[in-house]
Chain A
Amino acid sequence: MNSSTTSAGMGFLADEGPRRGLMAWLTSTDHKRIGILYLWSMLAFFMVGVGVGVLMRLVQLDTFHHLVTARTYNALFTVHGVIMIFLFVVPGLPAVFGNFFLPILIGAKDVAFPRLNLASWYFYIAGAILALLSLFTGGGAPDTGWTFYAPFSLQTGTNVTLAVFAAFVLGFSSMLTGINFITTIHRLRAPGMSWFRMPLFCWSLYSTSWIQILATPVLAITLILVMLERLFGIGIFDPTKGGDPLLYQHLFWIYSHPAVYIMILPAMGAISEIMPTFSRKPIFGYTAIAFSSMSIAGVGSLVWAHHMFTSGMSEFANMVFSLLTMIVAIPSAIKVFNWVSTLYKGSIDVQPPLFYALTFIFLFCIGGLTGVMQGALSINVHVHDTYFIVGHFHYVMFGGTGFAFFAALLYWFPKMFGRMYSKKLIIAAWFPLFVGFNMLYFGMLVLGMQGMPRRYYEHLPMFHAGHQVVTVGSWLLALGLVIYLVALIWAARKGPRAEGNPWGGVTLEWTLPSPPITENFEEIPVIDHGPYEFRKGGQHG
């Protein structure tokens, strides 16, 4: 408690090698430091994305409508999408918490390829810089939307070429992380850590890594084709040269639908860690959750064309993909059922991480169920390209992955930084977050049902009131985010020292001091029981 200003007991956070300060961080191959590098860079990009989002909402109010031109508005929604998808939610939980906790949870000293791990972070930063450059060079910021649909992306004068190259580089970061995690799980588990003794977060990272390896190359090749087409006019997607623009949509979504599982699976994994800890009881249906992660990864790779029901794809394909989409809802529902059942008859302790995890379940259910609605062909045709889609997507990606990220950060923060945050401030941040979130995105669901198309600069007078509610929601949401982040940033620097096991968790990370030492374990543990056995495992320590 007395060492809050010295480096004594600060574990891996204290510089050990010949380098000090920033250089020690930028050259570190310690998985924990790389995780934290990702955390800060990602949060910075996230706040930029939030800023762009708030600005877009502002433009829908009469008073501020002429703040930007229609063309800039197109650039804004593209940039918002690219930043949030490729710089925040795709790397999201794996890059931060996967890096930090995967080796610890399976009893290893680091990931299998520590240098490759650092290289992934540099790929990530390089991609981010390229994306930033694309805004100010060539013809200016891309105006295609984050999906870069052909043939428009082939014709627009804006700097699509550099932007897709940025996404290409970011894809490499993602693939290398996937390879690293799969190898780590196969080769570096501690003695006795059998597959079914791994914490569920590891299972979710394992299935995510497979999607990263199998689907990301498809995106990489597709984006290269877009670049070649723009530079040399080879005519793969351009219909005037005999190409097929629908082929672009197929290839794009072959990656980008599984990518939403890259985004949500680790989030589900983190929730599966939080639920048992705060219910003081083993997770309900361990095997079902582990296998549902794998089957989401498998079936989730076969449903991509549900984004194309109105594109002119064949009727037969519409039916095939609609059916497959319905099937993928089953494993997600299994998980929700198991989380809720874990609470049943548990000794529930509502701490901030659980509070945010429960919020995740609520918001994810709305997101998931609106997703099943769109899987039905008859509804999809009507809500396609409306605010309904935008609302649904944000319920899943922000209400789902975003809130799980917040919950995971609250859960593991004391372990990562060795300090505790103000629980009161975090709960205070929840109210504007939750109210603002639902005003913003439920409002969008309603607007979409009424027929408001997405990505439009103007709107009809009938949508005025709706847009006002939605925009006010965005202010509340942003306020909540600021409180949340300020509370954590302050705690990381000045918060009171945290104990080794503040939540009474029983997985391996809680057997270590907070923060852990550089090598994680003085001695590699020998595992003789499952991950959530609260009677056998350690109590408060």
Chain B
Amino acid sequence: MDTSHPSTEHGHPGYGTFIAVWICLVVFTLVLVGLSHLGQGAAVWGLLTLTPLKAALVFYFFMHLRYEGPLLKGVVFVALGTLLIFFALMFSDVAFR
């Protein structure tokens, strides 16, 4: 493989970071479980906001996105952007049906 690639070799996080992220994920999950007891509205909004945040944490730290070069980050953001546009356009149907 290409050994001159600058971004993959340095800056690996320690166990501390991973454990902190993991605790965050557990806390978010508990919050979500709590919200689900407050009725459907709260549950849905909680899912819509907190779940992407959790996914982002997993991508960013566990899947090492944070330590990647701009090209790979760009690819991920293109994919996420596309997904968002798909959602928005689909809501032009669902929300006005």
Instruction: Say whether, besides A186-B71, A214-B79, A254 and B86 are in contact (CB < 8 Å).
Output: yes
**Interchain CB contact under 8 A, B89 and A305:** yes
**Interchain CB contact under 8 A, B93 and A317:** yes
Complex-state Cα separation, A245 to B26, whole angstroms: 35
Closest partner residue, chain A, to B78 (CB atom): A214
Instruction: Say whether, besides A186-B71, A254-B86, A302-B85, A317 and B78 are in contact (CB < 8 Å).
Output: no
Closest partner residue, chain A, to B97 (CB atom): A314
**Interchain CB contact under 8 A, B89 and A302:** yes
Closest partner residue, chain B, to A210 (CB atom): B78
**Interchain CB contact under 8 A, B82 and A314:** no
Residues 45 to 97 of chain B near chain A (Cβ within 8 Å): 71, 78-79, 82, 85-86, 89-90, 92-97
**Interchain CB contact under 8 A, A317 and B96:** yes
Q: Shortest Cβ distance from B87 into chain A, in angstroms?
A: 10
Name 13 extra pairs, CB < 8 A, besides A186-B71, A321-B89: A254-B86, A301-B85, A305-B89, A312-B97, A313-B97, A314-B93, A314-B96, A316-B92, A316-B96, A317-B89, A317-B92, A320-B92, A321-B92
Can you name 6 A-B pairs with beta carbons within 8 Å? Answer: A246-B93, A314-B93, A314-B94, A314-B95, A315-B96, A317-B89
- Residue from A218, A254, A317 with most neighbouring chain B CB atoms (10 Å): A317
Interface residues on B, range: 10 to 19
Q: Shortest Cβ distance from A214 into chain B, in angstroms?
A: 5
Interface of B is mostly: helix
> Chain B residues near A455 (CB, 8 Å)?
none
Q: Shortest Cβ distance from B40 into chain A, in angstroms?
A: 14
> Chain A residues near B93 (CB, 8 Å)?
246, 250, 305, 313-314, 316-317
Top 7 A-B pairs, shortest CB-CB distance: A314-B96, A317-B93, A316-B96, A314-B97, A317-B92, A313-B93, A320-B92
> Chain A residues near B82 (CB, 8 Å)?
214, 301
Which residues on A are within 8 Å of B, measured CB to CB? Answer: 186, 210, 213-214, 218, 246, 250, 254, 301-302, 305, 312-317, 320-321
Complex-state Cα separation, A316 to B94, whole angstroms: 10
Closest partner residue, chain A, to B91 (CB atom): A317
Q: Shortest Cβ distance from B15 into chain A, in angstroms?
A: 32
Closest partner residue, chain B, to A186 (CB atom): B71
**Interchain CB contact under 8 A, B89 and A320:** yes
Complex-state Cα separation, A301 to B79, whole angstroms: 12
> Chain B residues near A210 (CB, 8 Å)?
78
Complex-state Cα separation, A246 to B90, whole angstroms: 10
Complex-state Cα separation, A218 to B82, whole angstroms: 11
Closest partner residue, chain B, to A250 (CB atom): B90
Which residues on B are within 8 Å of A, measured CB to CB? Answer: 71, 78-79, 82, 85-86, 89-90, 92-97
Q: Shortest Cβ distance from A448 into chain B, in angstroms?
A: 26
Complex-state Cα separation, A246 to B94, whole angstroms: 10
> Chain B residues near A214 (CB, 8 Å)?
78-79, 82
Complex-state Cα separation, A214 to B90, whole angstroms: 17
Q: Shortest Cβ distance from B43 into chain A, in angstroms?
A: 16
Complex-state Cα separation, A317 to B93, whole angstroms: 5
Complex-state Cα separation, A185 to B90, whole angstroms: 33
> Chain A residues near B79 (CB, 8 Å)?
213-214
Complex-state Cα separation, A254 to B85, whole angstroms: 11
> Chain A residues near B95 (CB, 8 Å)?
314
> Chain B residues near A246 (CB, 8 Å)?
93
Complex-state Cα separation, A186 to B96, whole angstroms: 42
Complex-state Cα separation, A246 to B86, whole angstroms: 15
> Chain B residues near A315 (CB, 8 Å)?
96
Q: Shortest Cβ distance from A169 into chain B, in angstroms?
A: 22
Q: Shortest Cβ distance from A184 into chain B, in angstroms?
A: 14
> Chain B residues near A321 (CB, 8 Å)?
89, 92
Complex-state Cα separation, A112 to B9, whole angstroms: 22
Complex-state Cα separation, A213 to B78, whole angstroms: 11
Q: Shortest Cβ distance from A521 into chain B, in angstroms?
A: 21
Complex-state Cα separation, A218 to B89, whole angstroms: 15
Complex-state Cα separation, A301 to B86, whole angstroms: 9
**Interchain CB contact under 8 A, A314 and B86:** no
Q: A314 is contacted by which of B71, B78, B92 (Cβ under 8 Å)? A: B92
> Chain A residues near B96 (CB, 8 Å)?
314-317
> Chain A residues near B89 (CB, 8 Å)?
302, 305, 317, 320-321
Complex-state Cα separation, A317 to B88, whole angstroms: 11
> Chain A residues near B86 (CB, 8 Å)?
218, 254
> Chain B residues near A302 (CB, 8 Å)?
85, 89
Complex-state Cα separation, A523 to B93, whole angstroms: 56
Q: Shortest Cβ distance from B75 into chain A, in angstroms?
A: 8
Closest partner residue, chain B, to A312 (CB atom): B97
Complex-state Cα separation, A210 to B74, whole angstroms: 13
Complex-state Cα separation, A305 to B94, whole angstroms: 12
- Residue from B79, B89, B92, B93 with most neighbouring chain A CB atoms (10 Å): B93
Q: Shortest Cβ distance from A302 into chain B, in angstroms?
A: 6
Q: Shortest Cβ distance from A89 into chain B, in angstroms?
A: 23
